[in-house]
Amino acid sequence: MLAPHGSLWVNIPDQWAAEVVMYLKGGNAGGTRGEPTQSPSRREERRGEAASRVPLALVNWCIWHFRFGQCRKSNFIVSKVHVLYFARDRRNRIWNPDRILVPSDRATIYNDARTRRTRRPGLRVPLDVWYGPYLGRIQGTNKERRRGHQNQIPETYMQRVILACSNEGDLVLDPFLGSGTTSVVARALNRRSIGIEFSEDTAKSAFERIRAGPVRTVENLTEQPRAKIGQERQTLT
């Protein structure tokens, strides 16, 4: 189903992220519980076994810092989701870094003159920890919020993924469509989309949203940022 140059993005909670990565890499290099430390040859053997099971390469292990985690007193508040970025072929994948550039801290906070001499002054590829304008959790009075959806992804989040890993006219598939964000953003960015949803009511709600279009305007979804050299960045919710 995945094109040779395509990518797969998976959101996964704390309790499963490490196990998924270990499985795809052929196990823990230091040995699992009750097992001795693996030799280098055994590690390579297990990586080969993993590649035959799931022919995907892990490109990035990102963190989405969504803020506003559930309040608790017994430990630190959980406010992140693991975002695993896979590709069929790391060397032959669509990757459009210039479409997702963001202001660099070196430029906006530290006023580093070296950032002005780059091809895109004051800009850089995003970090593997995602936070910033309109990347917060969809809740409260957020204009994107859809009734009945507890795990809604921000449009800006999907904008980054789709712009970085696809071209206009490409096909974007979401096997868990939910509120319809993936298809909404894909269509706004001139991609084709397929959404799969088990619940008939949820599918109807998603279709209504897809027809209505994105809450953030298409211009806001596609415009390129410009760094304000020497001015501290503002983080929006």
Statement: residue 237 has pLDDT above 50: no
pTM of this prediction exceeds 0.85? no
- Range of 55's domain? 1-93
Q: Is 45 inside a domain boundary?
A: yes
Q: Is 18 inside a domain boundary?
A: yes
Q: What percent of the chain has a predicted confidence (pLDDT) above 70?
A: 71
Statement: residue 76 has pLDDT above 60: yes
Q: Is 231 inside a domain boundary?
A: no
Q: Is 27 inside a domain boundary?
A: yes
- The residue ranking higher by pLDDT, 15 or 88, is 88
Statement: residue 7 has pLDDT above 60: yes
Quick check: 80 and 66 in contact, CB under 8 A?
A: yes
Alpha-carbon span 41 to 48, nearest angstrom = 11
Residue whose entry in the numeric block shows the structure tokens 């959404």: 195
Statement: residue 224 has pLDDT above 60: no
Which pLDDT does position 73 carry in this prediction? Answer: 80
Per-residue pLDDT tens digits for 103-148: 887 777 777 777 777 777 788 899 999 987 777 776 665 666 666 6
Q: Is 13 inside a domain boundary?
A: yes
Alpha-carbon span 141 to 183, nearest angstrom = 22
Total domains, the chain:
1
Which pLDDT does position 33 carry in this prediction? Answer: 46
Which pLDDT does position 234 carry in this prediction? Answer: 42
Q: Is 59 inside a domain boundary?
A: yes
Per-residue pLDDT tens digits for 28-56: 544 444 455 556 565 556 555 655 566 78
Q: Is 122 inside a domain boundary?
A: no
* Most confidently predicted of 112-121, 161-170, 225-234: 161-170
* Most confidently predicted of 24-38, 64-78, 134-148, 152-166: 152-166
Quick check: 102 and 123 in contact, CB under 8 A?
A: yes
Q: Is 103 inside a domain boundary?
A: no
Average pLDDT over all residues of the chain: 79
Burial letters for 45-83: b for 16+ Cβ neighbours within 10 Å, e otherwise? Answer: ebeeebeeeeebbebeebbbebeeeeeeeeeeeebbbbb
